[in-house]
Amino acid sequence: MWCRDWESSFYMAHWPPSKRLKSALAERRRGIKYTLPGMKYEFSETRILSEEAASVLKKSVDSVDEDINWNGLKQLMDSREHLAALEATGKILTLLGQGMDKSGRSSTLSPFALEIWSIRFQLLFGLKKYTELLDEMTSFEDLDAPDLFFQYHDDKKEGSMIPFALRMVHAEALVHSPLPMQAVGRVDRLIADVTTLPDFVISSIEKVRDTVDNMDRSELSFLLSRIHLSRSQEDEAIAVLKDASASDEGMRLHQE
């Protein structure tokens, strides 16, 4: 899956604060950097890229410019140049100070940086590079660190800086780890957080599903159906599953 959550993710302002955040705020512990991400793998695939993809890759990651960076990534993903897009995320993260050998070192967390990490993780998942995904994801722990919330940095803003798509990959990635059953706990915690949100926020999260790639759209649909069931909304759950089934069938016929 992939989507640019921050274009329409006002619902993240309603994300429940973690216990770690509440503790840090209560004890007035601000300024500590808990999340120190950095790349552990480089993916340089320019030798097998089309001329157009190589050109887009070169032009879109020369400097940090959110619109140019995102438009380049989107163009590569829309044309199914997933390896080039993965390489592009690496170049952007390097410009942001979160490249190779930067894990464990201080850098600036921002919604844009976390959005790039989200896309990178989605690509690693879709390309079945599970070892690399799980390794790079360790810096984010359980996505509950105080510095991943706006109010830790600014009293005037609230909510999580983590894109919902990143939460999805984070929850599901453990299925491909040596301890796959731990994925159930992560998904359950994600559902528990989502079910605390108002109904209009749930509707906004469902819109994320309509922007993600078909690669993992069904997984998001099943998660959404579980959320509806936990809220005793059986009709909505059935509707989501029927929509996912129809989408998968349409995709299968298109491939044939």
> CA 222 → CA 18, 50, 203, distances in Å?
25, 35, 15
Structure letter (DSSP) for residue 252 = H
Contact predicate 120/61, CB 8 Å: no
Nearest to 102 by CA among 87, 90, 114: 90
Q: What is the pLDDT of residues 91-142, one digit of tens each?
A: 999 999 999 999 999 999 998 999 999 999 999 998 999 999 999 999 999 9
Contacts of 120 (CB under 8 A, 6+ apart): 86, 89, 90, 93, 136
- In the prediction, which pLDDT does 2 show? 45
The two tokens of residue 114 are 């976390």
Contact predicate 134/185, CB 8 Å: no
pLDDT band at 42 (very low <50, low <70, confident <90, very high): very high
The two tokens of residue 162 are 């983590």
Predicted TM-score (pTM) of this structure? 0.79
- The C-alpha angle 241, 243, 247, rounded to 5 degrees, equals 115
Cα 190 from Cα 223, distance rounded (Å):
9
